Structure 1
């Protein structure tokens, strides 16, 4: 979002879509550098969540128990560098939940993507994780040995009030034997540009997203939609429903579509 907003690139993709609102309005980490000229070209749906999990050996099932126990966790997550949304969200969730990893004598294992973080847990270097991409197969393997912590309602309310970050539910048995719980929504990819992109180019990108969607879908048809990095079937009408204003050129494409 910063690269687009600063004009360093013309188009970029970001996830989750809801986080773009803070950049548009100058909230949170964007309070000193807002980007009111951000415009959307479309959404590629991905049903995802940010989850907090600790190893079952710790005997911890809630954030209240975590605060009481204050274990020296070795926690895997993404780097909190002001750019990586996972690292940013993990920091906010843990801090607002009263969790102090290093203050309790623990260690943060920070990487860019979920694959390294999941490997830290799988190979025993970490006994806790905060991450997204919950549809990836390694989560099903690790989920058998982890307790997933529901984010407390006051924390979720504060994140929505301050940053417009929405909450969502992880359904029963999405992870093996795990009951439904609430956490931070981390859904959807947003294709972004600025208001000064040429209208015909914005229209063309939106057209490609909507009219060649079968090319994207074809890469994921071997997976169930709820276990796929892209939630198919793609619907061009809903792909045009974005949390930041559509670029006028993109809006021209989506507004001409018949209702689904």
Structure 2
């Protein structure tokens, strides 16, 4: 006998909500558009939902925490956990009232690559030879999670970019870093978005360095950043290696969001997921910016506490949904 589905929401009032996504043309904005459409359909006429652009990093976490918006999307999901108890960049300003509505699964990694011409395959060799590196990565501005994680990883791995005579090329989005590598302006890269096709074009020119276990353990202990595996052959000619997990889009809110709205958004994530999935099915799951098939049970596993309203939806689910796995694809 099929288990009953969680009850569909019906909000008998008009809503005015503010959502925050990404720069405007990437995946977080697409998720916001999906939620805005489906939520409006389940409220009284006159509802208005605005989508504000942002960067999708610590700015989203802070925007939700300060209630500048009602819901904000941030990636990677695990990086928001530090905002609950004031670790890392949230040491001065943290948000114990922060809550999650769910995650949109997106299997991603932060990887470290150095040009093959340097002949360096491990961090031990990198420290021994101390080459002059020009590293393409994210901005170090207290907001960009790529720039933050890149510096933290390299520092704990004993890599002294400036001391070895090198420097950084800091940019906001991965595409800009890709161009630095492709053009030869950079001979090393620390970046995410590993599913994008640019990696397949220049990845064969790089050695991808496995992050040492003690470094991964230190990053998890200090910041709550988990590790993950990139499987053999995911990049051209590359062996399997361990590195930082950079997965999942987290929907952040606070305890102030009404319970029925939180429930409705969680229900939309789980019960109308095919509307989002179909926008990515021209890509294989392991090369898609959203890792489908979406599993509602997995979507309720969040690195910060669930909002009570959202928890009501996930707690009503059967133990197994779509059959999707949450293990490493890469």
**Fold in common (TM above 0.5):** yes
Q: CA deviation at 1:140?
A: 1.0
Asked if 1:211 is matched to 2:282, the reply is no
Question: Partner of 1:75 in structure 2?
Answer: 135
Q: CA deviation at 1:107?
A: 2.0
1:148 to 208, 211, 220: 208
Aligned-residue CA RMSD (Å) = 1.0
Q: CA deviation at 1:207?
A: 1.6
SS of equivalent to 1:210: helix
2:84 to 20, 24, 37: 24
Question: Partner of 2:169 in structure 1?
Answer: 109
Question: Partner of 2:308 in structure 1?
Answer: 248
Within 5 Å, give how 1:175-214 maps onto structure 2: 175-214=235-274
2:148 to 73, 84, 88: 88
1:41 to 83, 98, 101: 101
- Specify every segment of 5 or more residues in structure 1 that has no aligned partner in the other structure, as ranges: none
Is the deviation greater in 187-196 or in 6-15? Answer: 6-15
Measured in 2, the distance between the counterparts of 1:137 and 1:255 equals: 38
Question: Partner of 2:292 in structure 1?
Answer: 232
Query: Larger Cα Rg: Structure 1 or Structure 2?
Result: 2
Asked if 1:172 is matched to 2:232, the reply is yes
Question: Partner of 1:56 in structure 2?
Answer: 116
What stretches of structure 1 move > 2 A for 4+ residues in a row? Answer: none
Q: CA deviation at 1:82?
A: 0.9
Deviation string, structure 1 residues 162-216 (Cα, Å, up to 9, x no partner): 1111111110111111111111111111111011111111112112211221111
Deviation string, structure 1 residues 82-109 (Cα, Å, up to 9, x no partner): 1111111001001111112122111210
Structure showing greater relative contact order (alpha-carbon pairs closer than 8 Å, 6 or more residues apart):
1
Asked if 1:10 is matched to 2:76, the reply is no
SS of equivalent to 2:149: helix
